[in-house]
Structure 1
Amino acid sequence: MIEGLSHITLIFTDLERTSRLFSDIFEAEEVYDSGAKKHSLFKEKFFLIIGVWVVIMESEDIKSETYHHVAFKISDSEYDIYKEKLGAFDIRMRESRPRIEGEGRSLYFYDYDNNLFELHTGTLEERLDNYSKM
């Protein structure tokens, strides 16, 4: 039986640059840095983001952009704050997809290594409720 989410692992070309992005945007707490050691496939850092274990690993083998992404919940009142914070980084923001009214707003952004993240104001319950009304 699946007990829950263990961790999320993403690959990046520059751990330090990504660490700064994670700390500022996600308020991530760094809990491990392998330094030069490689206990896994690559150098790595572990973070806690809202209690979720997120692993970042360093490799030059990065693929092109996709829609695979990790979405984090933010409050609607903080949407513009996060939009401004993201604007301070040299990263590409993606326009939100067309949405049904009431299902929340999203900020999509690609980090330096083409990983896509979403900051979303809605909830699963709101989305399902709005879909059922269609």
Structure 2
Amino acid sequence: MIEGISHLTFIVKDLDKAKAFFEGVFGAKEVYSSDGKYFSISEEKFFLIGDIWICAMQGESVERSYNHTAFKIDEDSFNIYYQRITDLGLEIKTGRPRIDGEASSLYFYDYDNHLFELHTGTLANRLKVY
């Protein structure tokens, strides 16, 4: 039986830039760094965003697509996150067209072309609007 998501892994060129990204945008806490050891396929760092385990593993950047990871935020925090993202010089992507009542989203790329979304809505709200 599936209990939930174990962790999310992102392949990054530079682990220090990934650390700056996850800490700077999400307030992540680094909980592990392989520091030249290879227990997996390459060097890596682990972070916690709340209770979510994030792994940044050194490798080649990915090509951009609409595949993305979305985190839930409250509407009152939207501008705070927007400022964090712009302070890091990250590229903000124009979001898709929305219908009334669908909540707010902020799409942005990390340093390795991963697309992230900060979303103020819930599945229940989305289904109600649709």
Q: TM-score, normalised by structure 2?
A: 0.95
Matched, 1:69 2:62: no
Which residue does the alignment assign to 1:124?
A: 123
Is the partner of 2:16 in helix, strand or coil? helix
Matched, 1:35 2:25: no
Identity of aligned residues (%): 48
Q: TM-score, normalised by structure 1?
A: 0.92
Is the partner of 2:30 in helix, strand or coil? strand
Letter in 2 for 1:82: Y
- Distance in 1, matches of 2:56 and 2:100, equals 35
Is the partner of 1:31 in helix, strand or coil? strand
Which residue does the alignment assign to 2:13?
A: 13
Question: Which stretches of structure 1, 4 residues or longer, exceed 2 Å deviation after superposition?
Answer: none
Is the partner of 1:72 in helix, strand or coil? strand
1:76-117 per-residue CA deviation (whole Å, 9 max, x = no partner) reads 111122112211112211011111211211111111100111
CA contact (8 A) 2:45 2:56 kept: yes
Letter in 1 for 2:25: I
Which residue does the alignment assign to 2:95?
A: 96
Residues paired across the two proteins, number:
130
- Distance in 2, matches of 1:7 and 1:105, equals 25
- Distance in 2, matches of 1:11 and 1:71, equals 17
Which residue does the alignment assign to 1:45?
A: 45
5+ long unaligned stretches in structure 1: none
Is the partner of 1:125 in helix, strand or coil? helix
- Distance in 1, matches of 2:35 and 2:116, equals 25
1:3-59 per-residue CA deviation (whole Å, 9 max, x = no partner) reads 211111110001111101111211111111001101101100111112011101011
Is the partner of 1:17 in helix, strand or coil? helix
